[in-house]
Structure 1
Amino acid sequence: MKVILNRVPFTIITICLTIIFIAINNVIYYSLTKDTLENRMESQLETLANQIQLSIENSRSASTYLDYAISQKLRSDSIAAQLALDSDVEKVSQEELRKLSSLLGIESITLLKQTKDDIVLYKSSDPKEEGVSTKTWKPWYQAFQQLFDAQKVTVNWGLSLPNFWTGPFEYSSADPAAKKIEKYGYYYDGTTNYIIDPIVSDRLHKEFEDKAGITAILNKTIQQSKEILDITAFNPVTFGTDELKTQNDKGEVSHSTPRPIIYGQNKYASEDDFSLVQKAASTNERISDVKYVNEQKVLKIYMPVSINPTAELTDKTGKPINRYVLTLVSDYSIIQDSLNSQFKKLALEIGIVSAISIFLIAIIIRFLAKARDRAVRFTQTEYIQTIDNMFASILGQRHDLLNHINTIHSMLFLKKYDALKRYVDEMVEEVTDINEIISIGQPAICALIQSKSATAIQRKINFKYDFENIKNFELGIRSVDIVKIMGNLIDNAFYAVMNEAAELQHVTIKGWVEDNLLRITVTNPGTIDELKAFEHGYTTKKGSHGVGLPATKQLVQKYRGTISINKDEPGMVKFEVSISLD
């Protein structure tokens, strides 16, 4: 009896200590799991942010190229109008301007006359444009003065060409209440006593934005993601300050500077957005923050994005900025739900183990020890696997990130100045090419083809593309993956022909859907060792690591597809890709 009584306290103490140990162990496990899940979500958000960043930059480059093409058309229309009109503004009638606008296929034409202390919209095919003063329009008024002085326009806003200047798409200055978005060109070469101002609507630009623009990309990303609630891009220079607006002589807003929020709507705005955006921009480091917004717990990631300075993104003075901040908002309840589920399981385990411990202390101790070891091993395995996945994701994107950045860089610097005939001919060709690219119907492919077309023009490569039957078809493959596959194959083909004779510098890509398969072919003159082409390390490029084609093959196989090299046509190399759409 004495022995039994002596053992009771020991048993109780042992059970209590065991339960306490299990509780502590599981609290640690819970904490580690929470950190692991948060780190995993942050890693996934960072990966997604990188993909969104590339898509944004590709789309922005394509939009810049489209804007450049429209600007060149405005200049051509101005020269055509100059040839058709009398050089004296007093001898030009409104009817002439109306007929000329219709003939050129533009919204309207306005003639600007310089007075003693002002520059006014003097005559126009649109009566609402006439009699409007521009003296308060900054920096438009300064640009008009420089044109009348036969100088090159030097304001840091818009695009300057010989005897010509144009600003961005904006609301109608003569009729702000109409909310019409138009683009205005201004031409003066000294042979007339007026500036010619052709005006076009934003129809073509809006069609591009609706199908392949940044807003379309962001909306589609949010719709397809279970975790992402909102995506916003901030201008760190103007965010947190009032938007600077120019008013006409009637007090109506006629022009605006770049918006503080560049893309998105910032639906989950918080009080510390300003300080965190400034910190991310100044340190060039990613910042994460868990907070309650709109009565919902969210995880916000602030990621700085460095860009080449462009007139599209500027501060209030018109000086281009070199960085914006991309913010992603994720639903934190995904982490909390997973933690709650695991916590319930742990609580149930503790209760069962404690009950059994009263009757079989020896077995319980051994069981608890094993359970503890399993829990630790599970935690370590899950943590290591998460880290491995994170590094694998980063390494897998490294090659493609460089490829996309090169594409952006080449598009941003695509500027040519040619003779009048070439301006007109190239404009028709460029607008036609843009419409053909938009007609592809798949936003990611549109942006890629636009980028590669610009690269081909720069390298003087004859680049042709042909896509059929994919406009309204759900591809069943992630946009970022199809961009990687096509981008790597096109880059490989460009490199193969860039040092060849002019007649051999041509590359063709074709894509179509057949028998529920997405088929892609990329063809170029040259030779290749088909036995080694997909081996890691095999390359013919100086300074390359030979990862492009192997990575492409890996992606194709990920979707149960095939990739092969067809050399049936002598002197030609054709890559053939087939991917199942199931």
Structure 2
Amino acid sequence: MQPRSPFLYIVFVSIVLMLFFNNVMFYYTIKNKLVDHVEQQSLQAAYHLRDSIDRYKTSVRYIESMVGQQLRIAAIAAKDRLPPRAENVSNAQLEQLSSELGVSHIALLQRRGDDFVPVRSSDPMELMAGAEKWGYWYTALQQLLENRNVTIPEGQKLPNYWSDSIELADPSLMTKWGYFYDGTTDYIVSPYVEDVQIEQYDRLVGPDAILHRMIVDNPGMLEMTGFNVNTFGKPLALSKSPKGRPYVPLNQRPIPFGTYVYSERTSDAAFVREAYDSNKPITRLAELNGHKVVKSFVPAPNSSPAAEDDYPYVIGVVFDSNVIHEALSVQARWIVSRLVTTTAISLVLLFIVFQAIRRSKDEAVRVTQEAYIDEVNDMFTTIRGQRHDFLNHVQTIHTFLQLKKYDDLHRYTGELVGGIRQTNDIIQIGHPALAAIVQSKVVTAMDKHIDFRHQFAPIGSLNLGVTSVDIVIIIGNLIDNAFDEVAGLPVRERWVELSGSYREGSMIIAVRNPGRTLTDAEKSKIFEPGYSTKGTDAHSGIGLAVTKKRVHAYRGSITVESNEENGTTFTVSIPLNRFG
């Protein structure tokens, strides 16, 4: 009895279509993972830049405050060494006094009608330059002359003294002015310095220096841009310097730092506003300047809203989506080529089996059909195995990229021919995402002089049922919260304990730290968005709310206990799955 040829051909065509569909699915799986990874890289870079800028601004305010205090000391010294009437002071005296006191210049201001003008100065260019149209400068001088103190929100205010902020001044000059008046003279003493200190500090560790290093460290990153939410997409608001020169203050610049080459000004303005209003990152794909890019807009709210020189900004990150694809293309081509070769060989063998079946008699048909069934089963087993191995390779590569271990990625690609490497990090947890986040926090703890203790039971054959991204979010936020809590303690008392175990069908994660005992009222509100026991800053009140949301997404639970004996402990329980 001859086999039915049409049926065999239908099977053959069906298998070909299945293999083709399988390869297409592999391709889009890789593509989606690459896009997701680029988005994560962009967000991480923006968050890192935001944190670095916050620290930079704090440092600059401290330096500027010290410069302002030095100007006040110089003004008092000048007042004590000068006659009380300006008409008895010469410009030459002021020039010599400026040199002795270590300031750039000293001017003496008097009120003339509705204006303040320098009547004596070590810099002849400053003479008779009125303050009537200086805006808040005029108001500050008027308050200083009438009340001996200044109450406007702008600038640095000390007894009998006021100083403008460099952030609000002409950025091309980087000059800081001081004004002192205690009523014992008929003039206001105004020393000023060209603030080389802050200018050099900005050049070394300012936002532009920070993002330049980040772009160098991330070859796929094309550009980072700071968008001033208050002014980007709007007409420039010009101010005038004491010499009448128009300028845009630093805190009014539409783009205060970074470059803006990959621009879509109209649409970008809308995305900047949307990201800021929603306080959520916005990511989109675009093709700009001949590059397929991933463009992200990450909000960075004011860390100190009370500061007059601060402003809300959004960080734009442009990432070349082709770079990582190129870095992984060799690996992807190798895996796909191996899969295609195996598929081709299987199809050839299958075709030979079909031909043998057609030529066989009744007994030969029975034997050959049995062999054919075995071959088909083996073929699908081989394909499933290759698919399983392929996904393992992609997961490993994804982990290396998260850790920015590009050299390791390169070596790993070359070693794949000899076999698949085993995932084995320093804490031997058995799960790449858990190992990666714990390892990164070990480094952070060392920087902050915190004794970070961690103990995880090996995962083995447990299927967590939780994505790697969510594992990082949950554990990362809990550890960061604990680090923040112990940061104010003496070094010898700073410790944080992380433990992980698996019991009663659940993964248990506990983070414990010493510190202040939480009240019942605080424990009831601590997971609410925006609530924080650490005051108000750019990150307070967000981490624990996000953690609770992610835990509940997996039908888990999170609790907090706090007492003097054991400190504060956050415990997360997430149901997990087992597989043979």
TM-score, normalised by the number of residues in structure 1: 0.63
C-alpha deviation, 1:68, in angstroms: 0.9
Q: Does 2:285 match 1:296?
A: no
Q: Which moved more, 1:225-234 or 1:197-206?
A: 225-234
C-alpha deviation, 1:327, in angstroms: 2.1
Please give the secondary structure, in 1, of the residue aligned with 2:150.
Answer: coil
Residue 380 of structure 2: which of 331, 344, 369 is its match?
369
Q: Show the counterpart of 2:279.
A: 284
Q: Does 2:230 match 1:230?
A: no
Q: Show the counterpart of 2:245.
A: 252
C-alpha deviation, 1:32, in angstroms: 2.0
Are the equivalent residues in 2 in contact too, given 1:95–1:125 (CA < 8 A)?
Answer: yes
Q: Show the counterpart of 1:330.
A: 319
C-alpha deviation, 1:325, in angstroms: 1.4
Letter in 2 for 1:246: S
Q: 1:102 to 1:250 in 2, by over 3 A?
A: closer
Q: Distance in 2 between matches of 1:225 and 1:367?
A: 44
Q: Show the counterpart of 1:186.
A: 179
C-alpha deviation, 1:253, in angstroms: 1.6
Residue 9 of structure 2: which of 6, 9, 12 is its match?
12
CA RMSD of aligned residues (A): 4.1
Question: How far does the alpha carbon of each residue in 1:122-175 deviate from its partner, in whole angstroms, 9 at most, with x for none?
Answer: 2210111112122222222222222222264333332222222222237997xx
C-alpha deviation, 1:368, in angstroms: 4.6
Q: 1:277 to 1:360 in 2, by over 3 A?
A: farther
Are the equivalent residues in 2 in contact too, given 1:108–1:124 (CA < 8 A)?
Answer: yes
Q: Show the counterpart of 1:115.
A: 112
Q: Show the counterpart of 2:123.
A: 126
C-alpha deviation, 1:184, in angstroms: 1.0
Q: How does 1:397-416 map to 2 (within 5 A)?
A: none
Are the equivalent residues in 1 in contact too, given 2:250–2:256 (CA < 8 A)?
Answer: no
Are the equivalent residues in 1 in contact too, given 2:483–2:496 (CA < 8 A)?
Answer: no
Are the equivalent residues in 2 in contact too, given 1:60–1:214 (CA < 8 A)?
Answer: no
Q: Does 2:72 match 1:75?
A: yes
Q: Distance in 2 between matches of 1:220 and 1:339?
A: 24
Please give the secondary structure, in 1, of the residue aligned with 2:147.
Answer: coil
Letter in 1 for 2:249: S
Are the equivalent residues in 2 in contact too, given 1:112–1:194 (CA < 8 A)?
Answer: yes
Residue 25 of structure 1: which of 14, 22, 26 is its match?
22
Q: Show the counterpart of 1:105.
A: 102
Q: Distance in 1 between matches of 2:322 and 2:158?
A: 53
Please give the secondary structure, in 2, of the residue aligned with 1:261.
Answer: coil
Are the equivalent residues in 2 in contact too, given 1:187–1:195 (CA < 8 A)?
Answer: yes
Q: 1:148 to 1:400 in 2, by over 3 A?
A: farther
Q: Which moved more, 1:344-353 or 1:39-48?
A: 344-353
The structure number with the bigger radius of gyration is 2
Residue 220 of structure 1: which of 213, 227, 230 is its match?
213
Q: 1:310 to 1:395 in 2, by over 3 A?
A: farther
Q: 1:279 to 1:84 in 2, by over 3 A?
A: same
C-alpha deviation, 1:399, in angstroms: 10
Task: Indicate the percent of aligned positions where both proteins have the same amino acid.
Answer: 26
Q: Distance in 2 between matches of 1:95 and 1:543?
A: 64
TM-score, normalised by the number of residues in structure 2: 0.63
C-alpha deviation, 1:64, in angstroms: 1.2
Q: Distance in 2 between matches of 1:19 and 1:335?
A: 31
Are the equivalent residues in 2 in contact too, given 1:243–1:257 (CA < 8 A)?
Answer: no
Q: How does 1:481-560 map to 2 (within 5 A)?
A: 495-496=489-490, 540-542=514-516
Structure 2: stretches of 5+ with no match in the other structure = 355-371, 400-430, 450-481, 500-510, 519-580
Q: Distance in 1 between matches of 2:496 and 2:240?
A: 62
Q: 1:185 to 1:240 in 2, by over 3 A?
A: same
Please give the secondary structure, in 1, of the residue aligned with 2:71.
Answer: helix
Q: Distance in 2 between matches of 1:389 and 1:327?
A: 30
Q: Which moved more, 1:205-214 or 1:19-28?
A: 205-214
C-alpha deviation, 1:98, in angstroms: 0.2
Are the equivalent residues in 1 in contact too, given 2:298–2:315 (CA < 8 A)?
Answer: yes
Larger relative CO (CA 8 A, sep 6+): 1 or 2? 1
Q: How does 1:60-459 map to 2 (within 5 A)?
A: 60-150=57-147, 152-169=149-166, 179-247=172-240, 252-253=245-246, 256=249, 258=251, 259-271=253-265, 272-310=267-305, 314=309, 320-321=310-311, 323-337=312-326, 341=330, 342=332, 346=336, 349-350=339-340, 353-354=343-344, 356=348, 357-360=350-353, 362=372, 365-366=376-377, 368-374=379-385, 376-378=387-389, 381=392
Letter in 2 for 1:164: Y
Q: Distance in 1 between matches of 2:498 and 2:437?
A: 21
C-alpha deviation, 1:248, in angstroms: 6.0
Are the equivalent residues in 1 in contact too, given 2:86–2:186 (CA < 8 A)?
Answer: yes
Are the equivalent residues in 1 in contact too, given 2:220–2:324 (CA < 8 A)?
Answer: no
Q: Distance in 1 between matches of 2:35 and 2:248?
A: 44
Please give the secondary structure, in 1, of the residue aligned with 2:489.
Answer: helix
Q: Distance in 2 between matches of 1:163 and 1:307?
A: 30
